Amino acid sequence: MGLKLQVEIKQSTEELEKAVKYAVEASSLERLQMLYWLKTGQFTSRRTLAERLGRDEATITRWLKKYKDGGYRGLLEVKQAPGKEPIVTGEHLERFRGF
């Protein structure tokens, strides 16, 4: 069945329930749902969480590490790829928009 998780979740059940209800992004919803299930004892192993969320066990492990290291905010942080800097900027860009 998988190893039992040893995670201390600092938020209350009510806080997590409210956060799940008002989550805007799908990635946040999944992560908050995971915390809620762990807090309420509905799921107790990475494997069962992974199956329920349709994710790999490694993803669950990574999310839990983010929570342990950065707390609530660390778990919900979604990093963006930096991308390439635009070649045309400032007033030159505004002139092009006028066409």
Query: DSSP readout, 3-59?
Result: PBP-----S-HHHHHHHHHT--SHHHHHHHHHHHHHHHTS--BHHHHHHHHT--HHH
Span 57-75, average pLDDT: 94
CA distance 2 to 11: 25
Q: Tens digit of pLDDT for each residue in 5-53?
A: 778 899 999 999 999 999 999 999 999 999 999 999 999 899 999 999 9
Half-sphere exposure of 57 (CA within 13 A, CB side): 10
pTM of the model: 0.76
- Residue pair 7/67 in contact by the 8 Å Cβ criterion: yes
Indicate whether 2 pLDDT > 60.
no
What is the pLDDT, as a whole number, of residue 20? 94
pLDDT higher than threshold 70 for residue 98: no
